[in-house]
Amino acid sequence: MSSENILKEAFTQLCRELEQQIIGQRVLVQRLLLTLLCDGHLLLEGAPGLAKTRAIKSLARGLEADFHRIQFTPDLLPADLTGSDVYHPETGSFSFNEGPLFHNVILADEINRAPAKVQSALLEAMEERQVTVGATSYPLPPLFLVMATQNPIEQEGTYPLPEAQLDRFLLHVRVDYPDRHASRKILQVVRHEALCALEHKVPLELRKVTQKQVFTARREIMQLHLAEAVEEYIVEIIETTRNPGQYGQELSSWIRWGASPRGAIAIERAARSMAWLAERDFVTPEDVQNVAPDALRHRILLNYEAEADGITAQQCIDQILASVPAP
């Protein structure tokens, strides 16, 4: 088997194992892998108990990487994330004590419950891949992925994420309830895990995807063929969010602010990763249409009238994709 086939088989196995752990959430599993392959960060929104935490923990177990969960609360301080300088009185010197951000895979649980200073500390880590304490900046690990969660309910006492921070997330995925069949399968899986724990059975250790394999896959993805027509299609979708009037007055009356250049970058990289996971060496318009809603959902701002009428960003994106002709 060639090295290329070995690499794709490793990710295929990882996907298979994740789908066995996170029942009925195939889109979530796929978006997790896309985020990993794109070297991005993921924002998940969904009601409690929909396997958001389980998903990122399962991904970390399938990688040669360490994991840390941070529960965001209103009393959290930036130093609780970044770490701090510790004074040693016996020597009269300081040393830096690393915080939880110095792990490979981070779960920022209920990120919108933390105040602005904490969110800005996470923002620097996500964008600059470093943290600054005092006058010194410390680089984060080369493999660094943040998955943040927020609940659509219990919004009292929360701090909505500013648009600048939302833009740093590659994808914004909404997680819905599993169907009836998946719910039954979840009961069976949880029951089996409980029995294994009671009998002190150690789960089978699987071969993990190494960090070197992740970096190699990212390099291959950036070398996939992207036709000029597909590239122009991505640009036209982004331009339509900024100048929606060219495809109808209705869109123009909904959108107050369009997607930034990061939106185009997110669509292109995610579409490339979709093609790579499908074992194709080229990107199709269907790949773009598949990832565009999650790449744009948090980058389109609606005006007051649209929000008052119950219009959602998803409806705007659906209309844009229906209006812009695909190559």
Q: For tokens 């209309």, name the residue.
A: 319
Provide the 3-class DSSP secondary structure of residue 29.
helix
Mean of per-residue pLDDT scores for the chain: 86
Q: Are 269 and 215 in contact (CB under 8 A)?
A: no
Name the least confident of 1-5, 128-132, 162-166, 311-315.
1-5
CA 131 – CA 139 distance, rounded (Å)? 7
Who contacts 197 (Cβ-Cβ below 8 Å, separation ≥6)?
A: none
pLDDT of residue 269: 96
**Distance (Å, whole) CA 281 – CA 114:** 42
Which tokens sit at 306? 């649209």
% of the chain residues with pLDDT over 70: 94
- Which of the four pLDDT bands, split at 50, 70 and 90, describes residue 22? confident
At residue 206, does pLDDT exceed 70? Answer: no
The answer on pLDDT for 266 being more than 90 is: yes
The per-residue pLDDT for range 50-98, each reduced to its tens digit, is 888 888 888 988 898 999 999 988 888 888 998 888 888 888 888 888 8
- Residue 88 CA, distance from chain mean position: 39
Q: Measured at the alpha carbon of residue 212, what is the angle toward residues 278 and 16, in degrees to the nearest 5?
A: 40
Q: How confident is residue 314, by pLDDT bands cut at 50, 70 and 90?
A: confident
Domain ranges of the chain: 3-198, 224-323
Per-residue pLDDT at 142: 93
pLDDT tens digits, one per residue of 231-260: 999 999 999 988 877 766 777 778 888 888
Report the range of poorest mean pLDDT among 139-148, 185-194, 222-231, 302-311: 302-311
CATH architecture assignment, domain 3-198? 3-Layer(aba) Sandwich (3.40)
Place domain 224-323 in its CATH homologous superfamily.
Magnesium chelatase subunit I, C-Terminal domain (1.10.8.80)
Q: Return the pLDDT at 194.
A: 85
Is residue 202 very low, low, confident or very high in pLDDT (cuts 50, 70, 90)?
low
Q: Which residues are CB-neighbours of 51 under 8 A, at least 6 positions away?
A: 22, 23, 25, 28, 175
- Name the packing angle between helices 3-21 and 211-222 (round to 10°): 110
Arithmetic mean of pLDDT, 116-137: 85
